[in-house]
Amino acid sequence: MDKDMRIAKAEVFVHSPGRNFVTLRITTEGGLVGYGDATVNGRELSVASYLRDHLAPMLIGRDAHNIEDTWQYFYRGSYWRRGPITMTAIAAIDMALWDIKAKAANMPLYQLLGGKSREGCLAYGHASGREISEILDSVREHMEKGYRAIRVQSAIPGLNSVYGVAASANAAAGAGKGKGASSARYDYEPARRSAVPVEEEWDTRAYLNYIPKVFEAVRNEFGPELPLLHDAHHRLTPIQAARLGKSLEPYDLFWIEDVTPAENTDAFRLIRQHTTTPLAVGEIFNTIFDYKDLFEEQLIDYVRSPVSHGGGITPLKKIFDYAAVYQIKSGVHGPTDVSPIGHAASLHLGMAIHNYGISEYMQHSPDTNDVFQPEYTFTDGMIRPGSSPGLGVTYDDKLASQFEYEAAYLPVNRLKIDGTMHDW
């Protein structure tokens, strides 16, 4: 083993520059530094403990070059496989080791993954609004920012607040009310900083009746060319999802996402029989086994796992290669709860694979960017990596330490009619 590549230190940081992030920093004896994103929205401290208390001590002295072996050591070696906490912790290690290897090779990471397959990675942004005129303004604002593909989310008449709908186009962090907030105006992202989640209300019938009207208005305003996407956040049953897909066919969506909970992949057989609207799934998946049946039966069109929640660059590359056999493409999750390190890792992989589709790109706050200093840029609707070796992201731990972790949670969802807990 090259002594310089021996892992000397593995440190875990939990801070809140703009929102909560968990960051892993691995340092080799030769002084190379690699970064990993270990953030799981609303469960940050669990991943931090998994890394700090269990994996970090086992990393010391290992050869930083042996990425595949290290991944297998933590995946197979733990006995307790899979799950979002475990897989995000392993993903952070994997990312940090690829960052180190690319720095050792003096190349931006995509070069080690096969080099560039494209000029940049097409990205979509999030437009939303409480009424149609507000949605149209929000789409326009996103186009002015350069986006060439846009996800559209809408408030639903009769419901107080719906996840994914910003309080205003320039929604500031932290606004809103406490538990059971009854206002339509609170910010869904970053996750609310409160000790318990906000409770939203839901009515599937109202949603299914209203959403096609939203897309009709958006198509009438912007014409047939603009790629439009929509996220249903696991809220529908299979037959309701089939109806959504069918009712949106006239508006030619790029995809609908998470139309039904995906624990039971049989659901997608039913949906697939009824609609040609493309389907995206997987932002909460964490291994290739979650995708296996969906791929082999060609039941979905886009893979949502980002590097941080999909177990790392090493397994996600395998997932994308497997997807390519079925002409399924990447469409990775890129919300602000994926840190700039996670975004950069997904970006380098996206530059290299052949079956790239699109990436979600929610832009981070200035405080986040000051701490991570990402080198990637967003121009002309595409994210592009920089040219420095590795991932092209850093972590200013001194600056970060000024932003203390604060408990923050995604909302929960209850049926409006009787308060039953619902999927979201």
Closest approach, Cβ 151 to ligand EZ4, in A, equals: 7
41 binds, among ligand EZ4, Co ion, none (CB under 5 to 8 A by kind): ligand EZ4
Task: Decide: is 231 part of the binding site for ligand EZ4 (CB under 6 A).
Answer: yes
Q: Which residues contact 270 (CB under 8 A, 6 or more apart)?
A: 238, 239, 242
Q: Spot the catalytic one: 50, 75, 110, 163.
A: 163
The helix (run of H) or strand (run of E) holding residue 251 is none
- Residue 12: strand pairing partners: 24
Q: Which is nearer to ligand EZ4, 306 or 390 (CB)?
A: 306
Q: How many residues does the chain have?
A: 424
> Do β-strands 199-202 and 412-415 pair in parallel, antiparallel, or remain unpaired?
parallel
Closest approach, Cβ 160 to ligand EZ4, in A, equals: 18
Q: Which is nearer to ligand EZ4, 15 or 101 (CB)?
A: 15
Task: Decide: is 231 part of the binding site for Co ion (CB under 5 A).
Answer: yes
- Residue 63: strand pairing partners: 6
Extract the runs of DSSP E, i.e. beta strands, from 320-411. 329-332, 358-360, 377-379, 382-384
Closest approach, Cβ 45 to ligand EZ4, in A, equals: 15
Task: Decide: is 41 part of the binding site for ligand EZ4 (CB under 6 A).
Answer: yes
Q: Spot the catalytic one: 126, 142, 230, 233.
A: 233
35 catalytic, yes or no? no
Task: Give the count of beta carbons closer than 10 Å to the beta carbon of residue 413.
Answer: 22
Closest approach, Cβ 123 to ligand EZ4, in A, equals: 13
333 catalytic, yes or no? no
The three state secondary structure string of 300-331 is: CCEECCCCCCCCCHHHHHHHHHHHHCCCCEEE
Task: Decide: is 200 part of the binding site for Co ion (CB under 5 A).
Answer: no
Task: Decide: is 37 part of the binding site for ligand EZ4 (CB under 6 A).
Answer: no
Task: Decide: is 200 part of the binding site for ligand EZ4 (CB under 6 A).
Answer: no
Beta carbons of 328 and 301 less than 8 angstroms apart: yes
Contacts with ligand EZ4, residue ranges (CB under 6 A): 41, 231, 283, 333, 335, 337, 360, 410
* Positions marked catalytic: 163, 233
Contacts with Co ion, residue ranges (CB under 5 A): 231
